[in-house]
Copies of this chain bind each other. A is one copy, B any other.
Amino acid sequence: MNNILVVGSVAYDTIETPVQKKEFILGGSANYFSLSSSLLVPVRVVGVVGDDYKSSDLEMLKERNIDLAGLQSVPGKTFHWVGKYEDAMNEAITLETHLNVFEQFNPQLPEQYTSSDIVFLANIDPELQLKVLEQVESPKLIGADTMNFWIQSKKDKLLDMIAKIDILTINETEARMLTGEFNINLAIQKMAQMGPKYVIVKRGEYGFIAYDKASDEMFVMPAFPVQTIVDPTGAGDTFAGGLFSYLSCLNEWTFNDIKRACIHGSVVASYTVEGMGVEKVKDIQLSDIQSRTTDYLKIIQVGNHAKAIEEVTSKSAHS
């Protein structure tokens, strides 16, 4: 079992969806990632919070086996994101970003974190992602995510970071923005050339594409069709948390393992979107995931269709 370190935002979010509005609820990429990961493996968090961070939130995270030794607490206010979703809730619209304590954040890893096996650089300033990565001695596997804001404002640093990682997880809109390619296949090719061995494009309710540079192979899957989408915030980070925690259970990684890890991540993410903020993901159990994985595999099960299709089309009138 490999241990995982994540650096990312730890935040309070104010979110409005067509369904409801909540103010100052627990959020941030590192929190979503670690709540998801902790279903399979303990996870170490690097981040910063202000003195307004609630002890009840710290307790909840610790109870989920999340190691907060790397979470600095400093005077000031915790990072605050204000966003909303419209209609089909496919895209977050940022209304306000208050970096607060993140403006002066200089990550210093606790001694015991420097030997982490797996590192995930969740969405945050790429300079901070690089600073954290430099402090880990010899990680076996490095993953990262980013967002439109950094693609526009710090592209050079972002490319430095992407050159150093094994697995890039990124959403479809950001993939197009980062590469200037509208066709998602071409965008994936370009991103793979930037460094990563694997590129995972997150497509929200449409699922994901996983790409293996070595074999030039793809794996394309839909998302689990959720009956009620309450709030998509954190779906991508819980997807990544599921993906990397699954990989942490293995000692070497083939593309088949990446595929399975993506399916696991996709199932965890399907729970996240059913509640506001971390409401749902903080309470799910591994048994919930296992049960929905069975349902998910059923709706995507192609089974022996290959043989049947070949038989039917070969018998047709014109062959």
The interface of chain A, by Cβ under 8 A from chain B, is 1, 18, 38-42, 65, 87-88, 176, 182-186, 203, 205-207, 209, 217-222, 225-229, 245-246, 249-250, 256, 259-260, 263-264, 286, 289-290, 293-294, 297-303, 305-306, 308-310, 312-319
Q: Which 4 A-B pairs have the closest CB atoms?
A: A40-B316, A220-B222, A206-B206, A218-B299
| Chain B residues near A39 (CB-CB < 8 A) | 316, 318
Determine the chain B residues whose CB is within 8 A of the CB of A313 once the complex forms.
Answer: 40, 246, 249, 264, 286, 289-290, 293
Across the interface, do B319 and A260 meet the contact criterion of CB distance under 8 Å? no
Is A305 a contact of B209 with CB atoms below 8 Å?
A: no
**A310: chain B residues within 8 A (beta carbon):** 290, 293
In Å, the complex CA distance between A293 and B306 comes to 8
Cβ contact of A312, chosen from B218, B229, B260, B317, cutoff 8 A: B260
Q: What B residues does A315 contact at CB under 8 A?
A: 249
Looking at the complex, which one of B206, B229, B308, B318 makes contact with A203 (CB distance below 8 Å)?
Answer: B206
Q: Are A87 and B182 in contact (CB under 8 A)?
A: yes
Which chain B residues border A300 with CB–CB below 8 Å?
219-221, 300, 302
Task: Name the CB-closest residue of B to A206.
Answer: B206
A263-B309, A318-B39 are known contacts. Are A226 and B185 too (CB-CB below 8 A)?
A: yes
B220 x A318 contact (CB < 8 A): no
Residue of B nearest to A229 (CB): B183
Do B317 and A42 touch across chains, with their CB atoms under 8 A apart? yes
A-B contact pairs, 17 of them (CB 8 A): A1-B317, A39-B316, A41-B316, A41-B317, A88-B176, A183-B227, A184-B225, A185-B225, A185-B227, A209-B225, A217-B299, A221-B222, A221-B302, A256-B303, A260-B305, A290-B310, A297-B305
Contacts of A225 in B (CB 8 A): 184-185, 209, 218, 220
Residues of B within 8 A of A303 (CB): 256
Q: Which residues of chain B have C-beta atoms less than 8 A from A205's C-beta? A: 184
Add 13 more A-B contacts to A39-B318, A293-B306 (CB < 8 A). Answer: A40-B313, A40-B318, A183-B229, A185-B227, A206-B207, A207-B222, A217-B298, A221-B302, A246-B313, A264-B309, A293-B309, A300-B300, A301-B302
